[in-house]
Structure 1
Amino acid sequence: MRPSPVFLAIVAVCVASGWYAWHDDGTSEPATRTSVFLLVMSGWLVSLCLHEFAHAFAALRSGDHSVVGKGYLTLDPLKYSDPLLSFILPTVFVLLGGIPLSGGAVYLDRGAIRGRARNSLVSAVGPLTNAVLAGVLALLLSSGVVDGASATFVAAFSFLIQLQVIAAVLNLLPVPGLDGYGVLEPWLPFEFRRAIAPYAPYAILFLFALLWSPSVNHYFYDVVDHITDALDVSPYLANDGYRLFRFWS
């Protein structure tokens, strides 16, 4: 369970870019946007690693000891079984539309996990990790810990919190391929699970196609804004962080 050098390197990038953004004086817009981009992306990758670690650790405690040999407990993103679903697609979606997605990264021996309730818990702990991260980061923001930081840092930090909220909400949706479906799957009839299994890889793509629809996108982000508002995080600051994050626009 020792953190891998790769994970520690990502954390180092997050700390270094966060330090620069904290002290940003706004004199160089390219430097400002680059620091925000690196802070948000590295922070997001750290949360992805923690999300998948939560799945693996819960599986280990529930009877699946195969996660030890696979290296899932080292927080090494290179050990995950599906880098396309784990990091490439989530990163692309964050870059294109600020829509994060976690999940599908670790291969678990579901047969070794004891009982349906434990199987559901193993799926649930991923998005719950994002929810806890959102709460902790929001608490840091509202408690005055970041009062001495620049406006650049606060905006980037707010956007990072918003990403955690979006990830938690998205992953709890009962869509095949997402953790929300994994929570329900052990309780569904076998015939139903077998019937929809061939279509599961396309369900996520269909979901994201829906999110590009203006009406669905507006409703979804209304929900996200209500949650971030309840966490005492300004959606306007988060949007400003997203604007700075997109350094190419």
Structure 2
Amino acid sequence: MFDITGILLSLPAILLALTVHEFSHAWAALKMGDPTARNAGRLTLNPLKHIDPLGFVLILVARIGWAKPVPVNPLYFRNPARGLALTSLAGPLSNIALAVASGIAFRILGLLFSGAGLWKEYFGPMLAISVIINIALAFFNLIPLPPLDGFAILAYFFPKLGYNPGFIRLGPFILMALIVLGLFLPVNPIGLYLAPFLWIGTWLLLGVPMGLFGG
């Protein structure tokens, strides 16, 4: 059974996390000379330009998902591999920044409004969820499998592995298999990978270690 209240409280954080993530890719690419994303209308904070329906539904129900990939042409970069890696890194870094900002807001507003009903029922949980969603999205995207951001970073440091045609073809299927298996297995492999980042991040930012589903 889906937690409708939890899904509704998650919506603002998910929309902001996905939008800022993809905007950051487009912004970083443009700063290094690639106008492809801007020309495609992706240099925007309009969520509708970035949302992928399947990825959005998955992140709502499974806390793991994605947005539409931002188009990038590495031929515009002075150093294509380096430019692609930095453009890819911009997305996860933006989510870490959002997690930190949400954690700071949670701490400050929690001190000011700790006794208020709206804080306890809505705004406090929304900020806590924002921390969790952004940490999860950042480190999920750093998994070194195509088409995730971590793959471009891997390709920069290990070109032979990163540009292996077989790995590029199989990567998306491996990733999807991990996601699907996580929905049915008692132990979610991606959740297991994310757990230490979430526990440490939420402990530092919220004062309470939490997992992908709040536990």
Q: TM-score range by the shorter chain?
A: 0.7 to 0.9
Which of 173, 193, 196 aligns to 2:164? It is: 193
CA distance in 2 between partners of 1:210 and 1:226 (Å): 25
1:162, 1:238 within 8 Å by CA — same for their partners in 2?
yes
Q: Which moved more, 1:133-142 or 1:199-208?
A: 199-208
SS in structure 1 at match of 2:164: helix
Match of 1:208 in 2: 179
1:93 partner amino acid: L
2:92, 2:138 within 8 Å by CA — same for their partners in 1?
yes
2:94 partner amino acid: T
1:175, 1:181 within 8 Å by CA — same for their partners in 2?
yes
2:35 partner amino acid: H
- CA spacing shift, 1:57–1:222, aligned 2, 3 Å: closer
Say yes or no: does 1:110 pair with 2:83: no
CA distance in 2 between partners of 1:138 and 1:173 (Å): 24
- CA spacing shift, 1:101–1:129, aligned 2, 3 Å: farther
1:172, 1:180 within 8 Å by CA — same for their partners in 2?
yes
Match of 2:204 in 1: 230
SS in structure 2 at match of 1:143: helix
Unmatched tracts of structure 2, length 5 or more? none
CA distance in 1 between partners of 2:78 and 2:132 (Å): 35
Match of 2:135 in 1: 165
- CA spacing shift, 1:227–1:210, aligned 2, 3 Å: farther
Say yes or no: does 1:151 pair with 2:120: yes
Unmatched tracts of structure 1, length 5 or more? 1-32, 81-85, 243-249
CA distance in 1 between partners of 2:203 and 2:171 (Å): 33
Match of 1:123 in 2: 88
How many percent identity over aligned positions?
Answer: 26
Q: Which structure would you say has the larger RCO, counting Cα contacts within 8 Å and 6 or more residues apart?
A: 1
Say yes or no: does 1:133 pair with 2:102: no
Measure how far apart 1:225 and its partner are.
Answer: 2.1
CA distance in 1 between partners of 2:200 and 2:131 (Å): 13
Structure 1 vs Structure 2 CA RMSD: 2.8
SS in structure 2 at match of 1:185: helix
1:159, 1:238 within 8 Å by CA — same for their partners in 2?
no
Say yes or no: does 1:43 pair with 2:13: yes
Per-residue deviation, residues 28-83 of structure 1 (Å, max 9, x unmatched): xxxxx65x644421331122111101001111111212222211112234445xxx
Say yes or no: does 1:69 pair with 2:43: no
Normalising by the residue count of structure 1, what TM-score does the alignment of the two structures yield? 0.70
2:99, 2:135 within 8 Å by CA — same for their partners in 1?
yes
1:210, 1:217 within 8 Å by CA — same for their partners in 2?
no
